Structures are given as structure tokens and as C-alpha cells.
Amino acid sequence: MTGDHPVFACRIPRSHPRLPTTSPLPHGLAAGSARSRPHPVTAPSPTGQRFTHLWACRARARDHGRMHFRHGNRAEGPRPASPDSRSLAATAAALAARLGAFTSGDSAGGGSAGGEGPGDDPERLREVLAAAPVGVALLDERLRWQYLNAAFTTATGLRRADLLGRAAGATAFAGALGILRRVLADGLAREHATGGPDGAGAPVPPGLRVRYRALRHAGRTTGVIVVVLDDPDPAREQLRELERARARLALLDAATERIGTTLDVGTTGTELAAFAVPRLADLATVDVLPPAVEPARVGHGASQRLHRVGARAVPALADALAELPRPGESIRHREGSAAARSLAGGVAVLTEPGPEDSCPAGTTSLLVLPLAARGRLIGLLTLGRTAAGPAFTPDEAALLGDLAARAATALDNARSFARSQGIALELQRALLSEPGNPHQNLSLASRYLPSGSSSVVGGDWFETVRLPFGRTLLAMGDVMGHGVEAAVDMSHYRSALRDLAGMDLPPHRILRQLDNVISADDSARPATCLLAVADPGRGRWTLSSAGHLPPALIAPGRPTELLRVPTGPPLGTGLGGYEQTAHPLLPGQTLLLYTDGLVERRDEDIDASLERLAALRLPTTGNLDELLDAVLHSLAPPPAAAEDDIALLVARPRQR
């Protein structure tokens, strides 16, 4: 500050448009760069002089964030734009008073507020106040919000849409309503600091100083000017830093609780978008690499084709969002767009939307964050805001970058799980596509139903092996666990069973040998298994069990019967001790083998579950697939998802 004319210096980013001017610089003040365009504004001086000259000059590129001033014939710049905050507040209040005079004059039907020159242009005043680093707002005599600049929304954390046109008592400033009324009544300026004993009920974060000044026009009070500026008190700054840290931890804790609740990519993407809107942004989209694309290392470029897995917008943008790619659809970001730049460099991009950006009309601030996990880029989180709220700040970008990193880990876990499940599912489908080829004297049907939980693939399996003398071996097993490992172990069990069945051993001897083979492999998982040898020629079933549930025998004119089979320990334990039993095989009988997913329920005793199966009245004639449909409809009816995988194998002797 120099001389009797306070100079208001504001920081202007490189992207700020050139401010127009129609008159030369006044005596005593000149821009220090010939390439800078001065912007003169006149306003009543808070020091009692007629005018204060406010100049916002665009700095040269190498002097980003600095201002060039010349007072008299002595150069004062370049230097950082950091004038005394109280002088800035006074000057900003004077400019706001000038703007308020225009508003009051217009509302009263009075025309111009007086004065000459470009400084008397209300649009010019709004432009300068919009670039001011001091928060400024105007309320009319009914204490309704009429104007607020960007610095005001940034400092207070409030949105324009939450204030403009509304009464102060119905907004977050309700706690300051008493101060506003007193200023309006007696015209005396007032001030308090937020977060302290004199700031009780203040609606803005701690560590700020709020000034209230009467707005006067034509000799009467027509409203209130509110100015918000930083309080340089170190203790208050420390309090603000602690508050920011607390808010950051609270945000990340909430994100951890709400994002990644399942191992499904689509669900996780939807959770991320829903978490961001409206809490953090007006618009959020989540795009990830297609499952078949291998992620590139961060900073080494990435595929421009992404798969949208989440999208959310506030109601004002809902129609525009519907015109963009929806979840489940592919998207390719244009060259030069913020998304393309973020993908190429693996960095956050904070910008204003351009024509190449894929975002709804009305979006005024855009933040694109890379979704990177384990050093690899897997997608993008795009956030947008409208003019109804403040633009994203670098501090917010850093905080939201932490959120994106947290969400990226959840998405990467879901991608990895989906990839492994896909492999396991293909393997299981190949293994369970059809049971083996039985003898012509036996009809077979099978069914596999994956669970409805996130564990798509389990270790359920079945097999049939043709034996000499018209006999057929039926096997039903369940490897403990889910996923690729369970599917691989399932394949191991089936291969070993085929080899041992070729030795024409009785069922209990097959189980004993199978237990020895599996227990010798320390990495193999235990499994239950039920073996049944169908011998229509001798009219006999021979059965043996390794910890598996009993088979169900369905006979004409009789209720469903659960056969009693000696049960040994699961395979892979190395304990042995298997026995077998025989049961008559009569014409028209049907034997049903199944895994525990058919009958077991979380809150039900297994005996009660088996009783439900035994109580079924099932058809003893007709197609075996229809019989399986009846079993599933009775015990696992759609659309309720099965709690565990279900495998079924049914056999019936053919009539001679």
C-alpha cells in the first residue's frame, strides 16, 4: 500500500480472460508491463477520499501470481500480490458498496448511481470482485442474499445455490442473524472471528474473520455488506489445519465404509459415484479398463477406451447426464480432453470444461483423477461442479486424490476377483458340461447352479464312470472353498477318481485310495464325496460316503427316502476308515445325489434341512430334467439366490 490511494492487488491465473479497458491509466498509477492490460475501477474510498483506484493487471507468464505496479515514477513490481488483508477488506467493501448502490438504484427505478468513467459500470465491478481474494457478499434490507463472489464461497464452504435469493435466517448464516439485524438497524459496522468466543454460532469454518458493514444509498440503509478474510492468528491457523485433517480422515473413513462393499466392479463403481454426489460434486463418472485390457504402469500411457461402471448427477444435470455413455457402455475420451491428459500422464487434471471434454452442459469446473492401484492405472474418476457452487481448488484436488486412491484399490480388488472367477467358471463349465457316458441301462441328468453371492464359483463337482458288467459309478463331491483354487482341486479329484475307478475297486476302497492320493498333496483342499455304484443286472445300489450328505431315493407310491450310508471323514484328511452299504435297486426307482447348497440354510439345523427334502413329493416318471426342476423349485425357488453352489445328479434304471 502506498500513498493516500490504497491499491487492491489480486492474483489472476493464466487462464483468466483479459479484462477490458476503455480509458488510459490515471496519473500516479501505471502498469509495469506494456503487455498487461489495466482494468480501472473507481469506488468511494474508505479513507474519506472521493475515489479509490483499483487495478487488476494480467501478469506476464513468467510472473504468474505477481502484479506489476508503478506509483508515480517509481516502479513497485514485480512482487507478490500480498497487500494488507484489512486494507483489502476495506477496499473490497467499498467496491461492494458501489455495486450495491447500482443495485439499489435499479431496484428503486433510479437509473445510474452517479460518477463517470468505466469504474461506474456494474458489470466491471462484478468482474473485479469476482477475482478478489477477499470474500464479499451483499444482502438487501430484508436480509436476502443478492451477491457473493467466488472467494466468499471458497472461504465459507457454502454454495451459491444455498444462499442467493434466500433469507439469511433460512441459510447457514442463521447464527449471525442477530448481528445482521443490528447492523441493519443502527448502521454500525461489526466484526468477529470464527472459532473463538466472539464467534459463537458463526456459520463459517474457524480461523476466519467476518466483517459486517451497512450498505447505504440515498441517505438510508439498504442492506449489509459481509466481508470474509483469513485471520493471521497462528493459533487459529493451527485450528483450521486440525479441522482440515479431521475432515480428511472423516471423509476417507466414510469412503472406506461405503465403497467396495462387494467384489463386483459395477457395484463398486456405482458406490463411488453415489458417494461423490452431492457431497463432493454435482457430477461423477467412473470409468475403468475393460476386463481383457492389462493395466499400464502409471505415467506410461493407458488405453483410451474405457468401460463406464458408475455415473451420478444432481437433479439439475440428470437430463444432460442421460445423453452421455451409461454404466455398462464403452467410452473413448477425445484427444486433448482432460480425461485423455489424465490417462496419458497418470496425474490429476483440474480445469474448466472445454469442447473436447465429455461432460454435461452447465458444468463449470472439472476435476479428473486417475484411479491407480499397485502402481498401475486402471481408470478415471471424473468430478464436475456447476456455477451453483465453488470451483474445485488445488487443496480439494489433493484430498479427492486420496479418495480416488482408496477407491482404486477397491476397484482393482474387484477386477482381480472377476478375472480369477472368470477363469474358474470357464474351468468348471468345461469339467461339468456333461457327466460321463453311462451304460445304456441307466438314464442320467445333472444340474449345476452357482450361488448368488460374490463367490460365483465353488468346488462342487460330479462324475460318472462306466464300469464292467453293466455297472455305472456315480460320484458327487464338494471341495471346500471357492475360486480358482477350488476349481483346480476339483479337477484333481475327478482325474484321480477316474484312474482309481478303472481298477474296478469297490466304492469304499476307491475312497480309501483317493484319500491317500489327496492327503499326500499338502496344497490340496479337503472335500466331501459320495459314491454310488448302480448295478441294474443284480438289482443293487452300493454306496459309500466321505463326509457327504445322504442320497435321496424316490420310489413310486412311497415318500422320498434318505438312505443311511456309513460316513467316513472327508477326503484329504488322511484318516481313512470308509465303509460301504448295499440297497435294493428296484424298477422305477430314482436316486438323487446333491451337494449341501441344496438343503443347508444359515439359521437352520441340518437335520431340519434334510427333513424338508424328505418331505417332498417328487415325480417318479417322466423326464429327469423335469424332476430336477421340481427339486430346485421346492428347495431353492427363484428369484431368491442360492446361498451356496448347488450340484445335482439323478439316475434311473431304464426299463427293459
Query: So what's the pLDDT on residue 603?
Result: 80
- Specify whether the CB–CB gap between 237 and 391 falls below 8 A: no
> Is residue 66 in some structural domain?
no
pLDDT class of 18 with cuts at 50, 70, 90: very low
> Is residue 70 in some structural domain?
no
Sort 200 into a burial class: Cβ within 10 Å, 0-12 / 13-18 / 19+: exposed
> Is residue 128 in some structural domain?
yes
Least confident of 70-74, 246-250, 345-349: 70-74
Alpha helices in 432-534 (DSSP H): 484-501, 507-519
Co-location of 213 and 110 in the same domain: yes
Using DSSP bridges, classify how beta strands 552-554 and 540-546 pair: parallel, antiparallel or unpaired: unpaired
Q: Which residue has the higher pLDDT, 424 or 407?
A: 407
- Specify whether the CB–CB gap between 91 and 85 falls below 8 A: no
- Specify whether the CB–CB gap between 306 and 292 falls below 8 A: no
Co-location of 219 and 255 in the same domain: no
Co-location of 480 and 530 in the same domain: yes
Contacts of 361 (CB under 8 A, 6+ apart): 320
Co-location of 123 and 252 in the same domain: no
Distance CA 316, CA 238 (A): 38
Least confident of 55-69, 169-183, 318-332, 635-649: 55-69
Distance CA 589, CA 587 (A): 6
Question: Which amino acid appears at position 595 of this protein?
Answer: T
Alpha helices in 564-605 (DSSP H): none
**Percent of the chain scoring above 70 in pLDDT:** 72
Which of 594, 474, 491 lies closest to 534 in space, CA to CA?
474
Distance CA 12, CA 18 (A): 10
Contacts of 507 (CB under 8 A, 6+ apart): 473, 531, 532, 533, 542, 543, 544, 580
Co-location of 100 and 221 in the same domain: yes
Cα–Cα distances in angstroms (integers) from residue 310 to residues 186, 272, 327, 417, in the given order: 54, 7, 5, 18
Boundary residue ending a domain (204, 234, 264)? 234
Co-location of 338 and 203 in the same domain: no
Co-location of 414 and 398 in the same domain: yes
CATH number of domain containing 400 = 3.30.450.40
Distance CA 447, CA 217 (A): 85
Distance CA 10, CA 65 (A): 8
Query: So what's the pLDDT on residue 236?
Result: 65
- Single pTM value for the model: 0.52
Give, as one character, the DSSP assignment of residue 144: B
Co-location of 142 and 261 in the same domain: no
> Is residue 208 in some structural domain?
yes
Boundary residue ending a domain (234, 264, 284)? 234
Give, as one character, the DSSP assignment of residue 129: H
Residue 203 has pLDDT above 60, yes or no: no
For residue 609, the tally of other CB atoms under 10 A from its CB is 16
For residue 522, the tally of other CB atoms under 10 A from its CB is 6
Residue 547 has pLDDT above 70, yes or no: yes
Q: Which residue has the higher pLDDT, 225 or 203?
A: 225
Q: Which residue has the higher pLDDT, 95 or 3?
A: 95
Q: Which residue has the higher pLDDT, 355 or 194?
A: 355
> Is residue 471 in some structural domain?
yes
- Specify whether the CB–CB gap between 590 and 553 falls below 8 A: yes
Distance CA 23, CA 381 (A): 46
Residue 248: its H or E element: helix 234-258
Task: Tell me the three state secondary structure of residue 106.
Answer: helix
Co-location of 418 and 460 in the same domain: no
Q: In total, how many domains does the chain have? A: 3
Distance CA 471, CA 651 (A): 12
The grid coordinates of residue 307 equal 468401460
- Specify whether the CB–CB gap between 550 and 564 falls below 8 A: yes
Helix H, strand E, coil C: the string for 402-432 is HHHHHHHHHHHHHHHHHHHHHHHHHHHHHHC
> Is residue 334 in some structural domain?
yes
- Specify whether the CB–CB gap between 381 and 286 falls below 8 A: yes
Q: Which residue has the higher pLDDT, 113 or 274?
A: 274
Cis-peptide, bond into residue 638, ω within 30° of zero: no
Taking only the tens place, the pLDDT of each residue in 68-96 is 333 333 333 333 334 445 555 566 666 66
Query: So what's the pLDDT on residue 384?
Result: 95
Query: So what's the pLDDT on residue 407?
Result: 95
Which of 454, 445, 450 lies closest to 429 in space, CA to CA?
450
CATH number of domain containing 223 = 3.30.450.20
**Percent of the chain scoring above 90 in pLDDT:** 40
Distance CA 192, CA 227 (A): 11
Co-location of 222 and 249 in the same domain: no
Residue written as grid cell 441493519:
184
Q: What is the end-to-end Cα distance of the chain in Å, rounded?
A: 111
Co-location of 415 and 481 in the same domain: no
Rounded to 10 degrees, the C-alpha dihedral 70/75/76/80 comes to 100
Task: Tell me the three state secondary structure of residue 651.
Answer: strand
Residue 207 has pLDDT above 80, yes or no: no
Taking only the tens place, the pLDDT of each residue in 628-655 is 999 998 888 765 556 678 899 999 998 7
Query: So what's the pLDDT on residue 40?
Result: 37
- Specify whether the CB–CB gap between 561 and 614 falls below 8 A: yes
**Total length of the chain:** 656
- Specify whether the CB–CB gap between 600 and 644 falls below 8 A: yes
CATH number of domain containing 648 = 3.60.40.10
The grid coordinates of residue 152 equal 466468499
Taking only the tens place, the pLDDT of each residue in 443-463 is 999 998 877 554 456 788 899
Query: So what's the pLDDT on residue 231?
Result: 63
Distance CA 107, CA 100 (A): 10
Taking only the tens place, the pLDDT of each residue in 300-319 is 766 678 999 999 999 989 88
Co-location of 270 and 348 in the same domain: yes
- Specify whether the CB–CB gap between 286 and 274 falls below 8 A: no
pLDDT class of 246 with cuts at 50, 70, 90: confident
Which of 233-237, 390-394, 480-484 ranks highest by mean pLDDT?
390-394
Query: So what's the pLDDT on residue 7?
Result: 37
The grid coordinates of residue 347 equal 496425474
pLDDT class of 49 with cuts at 50, 70, 90: very low
Boundary residue ending a domain (181, 211, 234)? 234
> Is residue 450 in some structural domain?
yes
Taking only the tens place, the pLDDT of each residue in 583-605 is 999 988 999 999 998 998 888 88
> Is residue 607 in some structural domain?
yes
* Residue 148, domain extent: 85-234
Q: Look over the chain and give the mean of its residue pLDDT values, rounded to a whole number.
A: 78
Distance CA 367, CA 341 (A): 12
